Amino acid sequence: MSYPDPKYLDGSGEITAEFRPADTPANLVARSGSRTHYLATTASTGGEFGLYRMDMAPKAGGPKTHFHRSISESFFILEGTVRLYNGDSWIDGTAGDFLYVPQGGLHAFRNDSDALASMLLLFTPGAPREEYFEKVAEVASEGSPEEQAEFFIKHDTYWT
């Protein structure tokens, strides 16, 4: 493996860093009270990756087993206990634990505990996950089977 081809070719560098203070309000607050922070979106990284912080409310549950065809997904637990499914078994992930799921890897996650759980989600390459996060609950509960199928395929989510 080698480094990718350079994207920045000027020799002087430039001021382009983006800072997000820790107290920035969540971008999305779910009915459950869970909060999602859009730390680095596909738009802001030019499609290189997407990084999100999920603060899962107690007993928030989570998605059932699924896989992605075009994106990998990584989980880094910041706080609490997140149940992680690695395609074979459920693991209780706690602060500092990490799970990498390559394209095609079966996985799921949930907060079954009575406490808040917080984690970072990294998608590579970047994908427009914001619309997925914002509409998944509505589509899953109110969409027709055809609308659900179209939505999940659009967002590279395949249920098992």
For the segment 104-125, what is each residue's pLDDT rounded down to a tens digit? 999 999 999 999 999 999 999 9
- Report the alpha-carbon distance of residue 72 to residue 56 in Å, rounded: 21
Q: Kindly list the domain boundaries of the chain, sorted by start residue.
A: 28-130
Q: Is the pLDDT confidence value at 28 over 90?
A: yes
The per-residue pLDDT for 1 is 86
The per-residue pLDDT for 11 is 84
- Report the alpha-carbon distance of residue 92 to residue 36 in Å, rounded: 21
Q: Average of pLDDT values for 3-31?
A: 93
CATH fold of 28-130, please? Jelly Rolls (2.60.120)
Q: Please, what is the average pLDDT of the chain?
A: 96
Structure tokens at 85: 């499914």
User: If 0-12 CB within 10 Å is exposed, 13-18 middle and 19+ buried, where does residue 96 land?
Assistant: exposed
For the segment 60-109, what is each residue's pLDDT rounded down to a tens digit? 999 999 999 999 999 999 999 999 999 999 999 999 999 999 999 999 99
Q: Is the pLDDT confidence value at 24 over 90?
A: yes
Sign of CA dihedral 98, 101, 107, 110: positive
For the segment 37-48, what is each residue's pLDDT rounded down to a tens digit? 999 999 999 999
Q: Is the pLDDT confidence value at 142 over 90?
A: yes
Percentage above 90 pLDDT, the chain? 92
